[in-house]
Amino acid sequence: MEQADIDVVSIEGLTIETIIGVYDWEKEKKQSLVLDIQMSWDNQRAATTDNIDDALDYALVSERVSAWVAEKPRELIETVAEGVATLILNEFGVQNVEVRVAKPGAVPNAKNVAVTVRRSVFDSPFG
């Protein structure tokens, strides 16, 4: 399949409460992370069959990502972004994923800070 023929399934504004940060006070209270996820997926079969089994189940992806992010404290949003990208590539048959992790209010006088990673199954030496 040509790259131009690949569709995108998006999850925008997935808000997850978790322990995140490097400072002692951050390790004692939950903060919000906001994730935007874009996943390459061929939607043609699902559109034809109108069957969830042929689609990328974004509800299931959201549940799995939320559980993974919240399961244990992490220090860096970079770690969260990389972990979410790896999870999606490994568990959902997605070939390309972009994950943006934002931490609103992390920097005084800034509305938001965020990191974005783009990963592909082809990035792996075994891809």
pLDDT at 110 over 50: yes
Cα 122 to Cα 7, 20, 85, 95, 126: the distances in Å are: 17, 30, 13, 8, 8
Is 27 marked active-site? no
Contacts of 127 (CB under 8 A, 6+ apart): 120, 121
pLDDT at 1: 39
User: For residue 109, what are its two tokens?
Assistant: 């006088």
Mean pLDDT of 98-112: 93
Measured CA to CA, the distance from residue 2 to residue 121 in angstroms comes to: 16
Instruction: Choose, from 27, 30, 72, 103, the residue flagged as catalytic.
Output: 103
Enter the pTM of the model: 0.90
Q: What is the mean pLDDT of the chain?
A: 92
> Mind listing the pLDDT tens digit for each residue in 40-76?
999 999 999 999 999 999 999 999 999 999 999 999 9
**Greater pLDDT, 108 or 76:** 76
